[in-house]
Amino acid sequence: MKNLFDTTYFRCSVVEDAATVEACGALKNVVAVGAGIGDGHKMGDNTKAAIVRLGMLEIIEFIDFFFKESNLRTYFESCGLADLVTTCHGGRNRKLGEALVYSNKTLIELEEEILKGQSFQGPLVAKAVFEILKSKKMVEKFPIFVAVHLICQRKMKTSEFINSLMNHPEHKTH
């Protein structure tokens, strides 16, 4: 299959770790909403880099907990870090995060306005992840995932998102 897609201008990687590929593809959208919130509040490039870094750590921590067979190398394939960076800089979920800062509209209204009826994946994944984390009593370990969920549900102000970065458990381990 790889040989069908590899060209002089396009490279294809084969990754056997399907669960990690799928989970990265879903969880990146939650982090991208957070990146958009940062953009909406004009937090700057260093803060955006922190959102991506801490978001990647949450992705790895979540996947490693639920998929013990995950392979660290997979996170550094195009489906992992590269896709996360791209989505946090230009994806539709990033646009949603920014819109949440400027608008009081519902997610349905924002989907209609921004995506013309398509759906944002970030809020759906954030809700599912939140429910899983709550059931496992792990909410405090994933402040970005939780904050994005609460903001999408309009249960947290977008201006409070910075707290999920400043008080991230990653800062307490060093």
Q: What is the dihedral of CA 168, 56, 162, 132, to 10 degrees?
A: -70
Which active-site residues does the annotation give?
28
Residue 158 burial (CB count, 10 A): 20
Distance CA 71, CA 16 (A): 9
Task: For 2-62, give the secondary structure using H, E and C.
Answer: HHHHCCCCCCCCCCCCHHHHHHHHHHHHHHHHHHHHHHHCCCCHHHHHHHHHHHHHHHHHH
CB contact at 8 A, 138 and 25: no
24 within 8 A of 64, measured Cβ to Cβ: no
Name the residue type at position 76.
F
